Amino acid sequence: MAFTIAIDGPAAAGKGTLSKAVAAHFGYAHLDTGLLYRAVGARTLQGAEPIAAAQALQAEDLEADNLRTPDVAQAASKVAVIPEVRAALVAFQQAFARRDGGAVLDGRDIGTVICPDAEVKLFVTASAEVRATRRHKELAEKGGTQSYEAVLQDVIERDKRDSERATAPLKPAEDAVQIDTSDLSIEAAIAAAIAAIEARR
């Protein structure tokens, strides 16, 4: 039976961690939809045309090991504002969402655009400063040299671009349960997400 959980939110709010934990808890398949845009963005950095790259996307493209770099993140945010790119990736996401056995999708517009009929919608957020601190630590652990100030600026610019774009702007669905992870431990945030899902099942 299909059961779709849509988890949205801005960069570094914790939605990826929550989504993986929720999928594991319920035994559902998981799709980080941001990887679709990152895979297209990575292709454009290699000279590909964004719309063609989106139309040719394959599941194995999501396993490339360069998809988490800051350059690819910026490229992904830029291609995500192109309506034809979004259209090419919508079908991929919707098919995944309705697979048998349940699915968890996380991204920016899952509950509002991709799966407006999802059985459960969560919107995970945190302050820009908290998210920048998390992202800065993550980048530093991978050998990154960006300052906290530069990371915070990136987060703010990305939020602005994601929330102000004409097509599928980042915003909570009207019926989404909001979880602010600014002051929550990972365990507490996961528990809150699981409780919200259990209440809807």
Cα dihedral sign, 173-178-179-180: positive
Q: Is 11 annotated as a binding residue?
A: yes
Residue position matching structure tokens 């979880």:
179
28/198 Cα distance (integer angstroms) = 14
Q: Is 121 annotated as a binding residue?
A: no
Q: Is 16 annotated as a binding residue?
A: yes
Backbone angles phi, psi at 61, to 5 degrees: -65, -20
Q: Is 188 annotated as a binding residue?
A: no
The distance between the two most distant Cα atoms of the chain, rounded to a whole number of Å, is: 47
Is residue 53 within 8 A of residue 43, CB to CB? The reply is yes
Q: Is 13 annotated as a binding residue?
A: yes
176/196 Cα distance (integer angstroms) = 10
Chain centroid to CA 54: 17
The amino acid that residue 72 corresponds to is V
Residue position matching structure tokens 């800051």:
70
- The Cβ-side half-sphere exposure at 22, using a 13 Å CA radius, reads 33
Binding-site residues from annotation: 9-17
Binding-site members for ATP are 9-17
